[in-house]
Amino acid sequence: MSRSAPTHCPYCALQCAMTLTPTDAANPASPPVTVAGRDFPTNRGGLCKKGWTSAELLRAPSRLGAPLLRGADGALHEASWDEALDHVARSLRGIRALHGADAVGVFGGGGLTNEKAYLLGKFARLALGTSRIDYNGRYCMSSAAAAGNRAFGVDRGLPFPLEDLDGAATILLLGTNVAETMPPFIGHLAGAQAAGGLVVVDPRRTATARLTDEGQGLHVQPVPGTDLALLLGLIHVVIAERLVDAEYVAQRTTGFESLRRSVASWWPERVQSTTGVPALTLRRLARRLASGEGTYILTGRGVEQHVDGTDTATAAINLALLLGLPGRPGSGYGTLTGQGNGQGGREHGQKCDQLPGYRKIVDPEARAHVARVWGVEPDAIPGPGVPAVELLQSLGMPGGVRSLLVHGSNLVVSSPNVAAVREGLDRLDLLVVCDFFLSETAALADVVLPITQWAEEEGTMTNLEGRVIRRRRAIAPPAGVRDELWILAELARRLECTATFDTDPELVFEELRLASEGGIADYSGIDYAMLDRGEAAYWPYPRGSAGTPRLFADRFAHPDGRAKLVAVTVRASAHPAPQPGELTLVTGRLLEHYQSGAQTRRVPELDAAQPEALAALHPSTADRLGIADGDDVEVANTRGTVRCRARVTTDIRPDAVFLPFHYADAQAANLLTSDAVDPISSMPEFKTNLVRVTRVARL
Ligand code: SF4
């Protein structure tokens, strides 16, 4: 008798609850489980089409069923696990001996379970002895995380349960398209919509922006790259019109005077000339945000994935603090984490500057604590490494990384300036990729290790609310694939590392609890049993406590208990204006696809609905360029050229072109994006790159 497994979706950070029920395993043509939405506070039984179709990948014909080794003929051939792991360990030892431990790099992912993320960080530092580990969350959450840490002393995406939004009268969404990226989320916007208080800031008229139609709110469509100026203008109005919550600011923040001076010149008419947003709209929006209880400000990648993303997220936080929103019941500020475990993935040691529990790797106390848990001397833990883009830029370069282990990332689709990344991967002595499929990155590897999928494994994830949830196994994996915990343990053994590498997820979690104890992201009071009982577990959850669904009620996490207002300003060089003939490239997601599309492009229904990248152009722009809907076009700049078809739509500004970033090869939007990074967060500039669009003969 098959048993159902209550679990959560494999994709985004909403982590919708679902029930998987095993089906007739003898029928290889049908998915081995059925998927049903399950009631949970975030999704209330709802799933989007990605979640509904997620089981189709479990027995997809293209799923890898055995390790692959690149042979002398240059092709990938099936190998046994012993052959593959022996080869990897032997090669790593050789590279280390020749070039030193930092010649070995590890690239993790925000989709890994907490257990995998934790063990990967430990593996890199102890089994490989390298400081060169970072992960794809650098492309996703790093700016918001840096801003949250700077202002609040802690980075938890939503510092309150998602259900709190239900009672909001006003919600300001900055650069997030939740109606497509996490559709069940929009149920939490209904109250603000009904109150006419949903405000969406986005250069595109997205599905989320359309929720503001018919008097249900406001869509603000600024010039791409001017979000920071827009926020400085809102702060200016809030201060000038005495809309500041003076008591809150006096009692709970520092830095007001400096902030006040920094926005003095951002009067609404100046902001209008920069952003294109009318001064009157700006004033009305500021007044609406300050109109009383029930206001939330939420940011997403649209305003964060910039070279000034940290400062832009900081400005959003400044605005929220001036209005007295964070920590006050029924109001708040948050950032919407994207990847499935984007939150947990940034807490347990995958980041180059971090140890488990969100501890700083340079902090002697943090090092001593983690070293005790790991049973090593603190000196055995390498110091800080380099962030993702810098790590990738060093591939195969003198003094750089010569071998790379990739877990949960499709680098040649999702990285900025992917042509350069591809060249770097080609220069490596060894590329090892763990994946379910031969992704575009796995296809370049020397060794491909096939791994379990979500329905075949146990573990925990931490959703966008900072709530730890259980992933449960519904079916056994195919015979030829392995769990990444097992892979790490086997490699550590072959590398003669004497530290413990458990393969039982619950044991790994128990160790993670100890390692995180006393840190910012303290999981020490959480265990599998309580999660299995359905208890809500929001970190920080120190041992013996009841967890923390809502942060900041009494104090912020800085030593003085106050939040920091940080004066930020616009850097003219951050977003150069388009020259005649140029458009600003805006990238983003589609309802049907997730991240690099490595999974969703393999689901027939999703692929059929959105089989190709389309370059969205405004009718006036298309007219000027002589382009009609459906024409073949090239979108190009000095970094590369995307070849695709045009979609002519009023949903985009005339000065911009939109490309989804889910596609590969000649349709990879990241052929065009810059690997210039934010100086604080090391976030690359994904959102405002200058391009030219031309009509070309049929491809
Ligand atoms: Fe999965 Fe996100 Fe869709 Fe929910 S919204 S079903 S978590 S992809």
pLDDT > 90: percent of the chain: 96
pLDDT per position as a tens digit, 288-338: 999 977 999 999 999 999 999 999 999 999 999 999 999 999 999 999 999
The DSSP symbol for 125 reads: I
Residue-level pLDDT at 575: 86
Instruction: Give residue 472 CA to ligand 1 midpoint distance, Å.
Output: 16
- Contact 12 CB / ligand 1 (< 6 Å): yes
Instruction: Give residue 44 CA to ligand 1 midpoint distance, Å.
Output: 12
Query: Which atom of ligand 1 lies nearest, measured to the CA of 52?
Result: 6
- Contact 111 CB / ligand 1 (< 6 Å): no
- Rounded Cα distance, 46 and 38, in Å: 7
**What pTM was computed for the model?**
0.96
- Rounded Cα distance, 426 and 395, in Å: 9
Complex confidence, ipTM: 1.00
- Contact 9 CB / ligand 1 (< 6 Å): yes
Structural domains of the chain in order of their starting residue, each with its CATH number? 5-57 (2.20.25.90), 68-140+346-503 (3.40.50.740), 143-335 (3.40.228.10), 583-695 (2.40.40.20)
Instruction: Give residue 67 CA to ligand 1 midpoint distance, Å.
Output: 30
- Contact 341 CB / ligand 1 (< 6 Å): no
Q: Could you give the 3-state DSSP secondary structure of residue 255?
A: coil
- Contact 338 CB / ligand 1 (< 6 Å): no
Instruction: Give residue 50 CA to ligand 1 midpoint distance, Å.
Output: 6
Higher pLDDT, 572 or 551: 551
Per-residue pLDDT band at 658 (split at 50, 70, 90):
very high
User: Is the pLDDT reported for residue 76 higher than 70?
Assistant: yes
Query: Which atom of ligand 1 lies nearest, measured to the CA of 594?
Result: 8
Look up tokens 């920071």; give the residue.
228
- Rounded Cα distance, 152 and 146, in Å: 10
Least confident of 29-33, 225-229, 361-365, 539-543: 29-33
Q: Which of 8, 14, 40, 52, when mutated, tests ligand 1's pocket best, judged by the most ligand atoms within 8 Å of its CB?
A: 14
Region 580-599 average pLDDT: 95
Sheet holding 332-335: strands in order across? Answer: 217-220, 198-201, 170-174, 295-299, 332-335
Residue-level pLDDT at 26: 66
Asked whether 275 and 226 are in contact (CB, 8 A), the reply is: yes
Residue-level pLDDT at 322: 98
Query: Which atom of ligand 1 lies nearest, measured to the CA of 182?
Result: 5
Instruction: Give residue 594 CA to ligand 1 midpoint distance, Å.
Output: 9
Neighbours of 87 (CB within 10 A): 18
Asked whether 489 and 503 are in contact (CB, 8 A), the reply is: yes
pLDDT per position as a tens digit, 439-477: 999 999 999 999 999 999 999 999 999 999 999 999 999
Exposed, middle or buried by CB within 10 Å (0-12, 13-18, 19+), for 611? exposed
Query: Which atom of ligand 1 lies nearest, measured to the CA of 15?
Result: 7
Sheet holding 133-135: strands in order across? Answer: 76-78, 68-70, 447-450, 430-435, 403-407, 104-108, 133-135
Q: Which of 20, 52, 182, when mutated, tests ligand 1's pocket best, judged by the most ligand atoms within 8 Å of its CB?
A: 182
User: Is the pLDDT reported for residue 28 higher than 60?
Assistant: yes
User: Is the pLDDT reported for residue 1 higher than 60?
Assistant: no
Query: Which atom of ligand 1 lies nearest, measured to the CA of 14?
Result: 7
Residue-level pLDDT at 214: 84
- Contact 556 CB / ligand 1 (< 6 Å): no
User: Is the pLDDT reported for residue 248 higher than 90?
Assistant: yes
